[in-house]
């Protein structure tokens, strides 16, 4: 009876212990695990409907890149050395020519200057110009008429930058943001953070300088980024403004003829801006955006080879017209959105580098490098090998030994009593 009772208690205790223990790894075979990713396979992620798969290598090719679907209009043939047409909302590049060709940008580089410097000062902030802030302006630069000793609101200076392309206003704003050299470095960092790899900044105002280049791709990228900032958009779409000159003011007009409809260039309906430029080294350059219905397009045009000084506007008009007609009837040939360089790494899976649309371009397989089998779980929650299976057996043995010991003690006590 004593033996039977001891064994019964030992069995009950062992059962209770087994109920609170985790299921051993070996016994969990009924749980179906997700198949491990093979090398070069991207994680299964839903693709946002607004972003189609694009091959970024297409934009590295020379010549015109466009993928038309049945019924789409043919891409226009314009004389610019480089151009891009993109959807400002999705970032999809609808067509391009020599998108990454590095060329002098002229004053279109002021778009990058504005993206970098605009957030640092409120429009109502006032600043009195020092003589030192107007030194070093290049010969023949476009000027808005900033004078030393005069006090200006920051919004006045930005009107001078966007409307008159005033290099004097750029120099003052750069001085307010750390100085010329610091501004150059800040702009370079901003370009890289946006994914603009073709731009090299030497002179923040866009004045011709050895080694200073950008590309139609980068300029379109800057334009699209600017449209996401209400202040940037307000300045670049302003056709006319008053500029202070002490006790009086004078009117200034935006030099983007597509916006104002001046000098024989017809106004483009729905135009938002953005920035035009010219230097002897760069020729004529332009970044513009327009809205039609619920669609906004951004185009960049660099150095037309025929048609005179206003050809850049007419070629931009032709590209915008084509873009609105072709939207939805072409496959994108690239994207202005930055590439996703790392997918989140989760337990038991490899981190995969992906390009636009989830296309795998590389893997980071730490488990394979360490000698583990591909796809094997080694993260948090996986039991160490051999521990979970052996632990319940050891507890059963211990419980039985304790029961036998108890039975022996009770038997000896009974004999002494007898």
User: Catalytic residues, which ones?
Assistant: 107, 110, 165
Among candidates 249, 247, 265, which has minimal Cα distance to 257? 265
Structure tokens at 399: 């419980």
Among candidates 237, 199, 242, which has minimal Cα distance to 221? 199
- Dihedral of alpha carbons 162, 195, 61, 360, sign: negative
User: 167-176 and 154-162 helices cross at what angle (nearest 10)?
Assistant: 140
Distances 19 to 23, 76, 174 between C-alpha atoms, Å: 9, 74, 71
Contacts of 190 (CB under 8 A, 6+ apart): 112, 115, 116
**H-helix or E-strand containing 9?**
helix 2-20
Q: How many helices (H) and strands (E) does the chain have?
A: 11, 15
Confirm if 296 and 319 have CB atoms less than 8 A apart: no
Contacts of 7 (CB under 8 A, 6+ apart): 400, 403
Q: How far, rounded to the nearest angstrom, does the alpha carbon of residue 309 sit from its chain's CA centroid?
A: 34
Distances 17 to 254, 327, 385 between C-alpha atoms, Å: 82, 67, 21
SS3 110: helix
**H-helix or E-strand containing 273?**
strand 271-279
């Amino acid at each position: 009876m004593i033996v039977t009772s001891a064994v019964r208690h030992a069995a009950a205790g062992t059962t209770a212990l087994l109920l609170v223990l985790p299921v051993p790894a070996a016994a969990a075979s009924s749980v179906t695990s997700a198949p491990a990713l093979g090398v070069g396979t991207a994680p299964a992620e839903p693709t946002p409907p607004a972003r189609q798969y694009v091959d970024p290598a297409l934009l590295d090719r020379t010549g015109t890149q466009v993928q038309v679907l049945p019924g789409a209009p043919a891409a226009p043939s314009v004389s610019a050395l480089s151009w891009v047409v993109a959807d400002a909302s999705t970032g999809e590049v609808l067509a391009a020519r020599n998108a990454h060709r590095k060329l002098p940008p002229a004053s279109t580089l002021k778009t990058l200057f504005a993206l970098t410097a605009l957030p640092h000062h409120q429009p109502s902030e006032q600043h009195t110009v020092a003589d030192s802030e107007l030194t070093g302006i290049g010969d023949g630069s476009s000027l808005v008429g900033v004078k030393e000793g005069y006090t200006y609101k920051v919004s006045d200076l930005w009107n001078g930058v966007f409307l008159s392309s005033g290099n004097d206003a750029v120099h003052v704003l750069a001085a307010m943001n750390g100085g010329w050299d610091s501004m150059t470095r800040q702009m370079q960092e901003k370009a890289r953070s946006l994914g603009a790899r073709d731009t090299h900044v030497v002179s923040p105002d866009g004045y011709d300088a050895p080694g200073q280049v950008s590309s139609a791709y980068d300029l379109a990228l800057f334009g699209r980024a600017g449209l996401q900032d209400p202040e940037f958009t307000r300045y670049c779409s302003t056709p006319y403004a008053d500029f202070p000159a002490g006790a009086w003011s004078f009117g200034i007009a935006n030099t983007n003829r597509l916006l104002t409809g001046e000098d024989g260039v017809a106004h483009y309906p729905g135009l938002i801006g953005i920035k035009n430029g010219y230097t002897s080294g760069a020729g004529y350059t332009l970044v513009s955006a327009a809205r039609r219905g619920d669609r906004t397009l951004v185009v960049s045009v660099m150095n037309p080879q025929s048609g005179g000084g206003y050809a850049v506007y007419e070629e931009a008009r032709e590209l915008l017209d084509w873009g609105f007609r072709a939207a939805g009837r072409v496959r994108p040939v690239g994207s202005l959105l930055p590439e996703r360089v790392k997918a989140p790494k989760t337990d038991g899976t490899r981190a995969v580098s992906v390009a636009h649309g989830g296309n795998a371009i590389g893997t980071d397989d730490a488990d394979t490098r360490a000698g583990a089998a591909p796809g094997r779980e080694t993260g948090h929650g996986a039991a160490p090998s051999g521990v979970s299976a052996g632990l319940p057996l050891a507890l059963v043995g211990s419980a039985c030994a304790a029961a036998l010991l108890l039975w022996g003690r009770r038997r000896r006590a009974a004999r002494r009593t007898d």
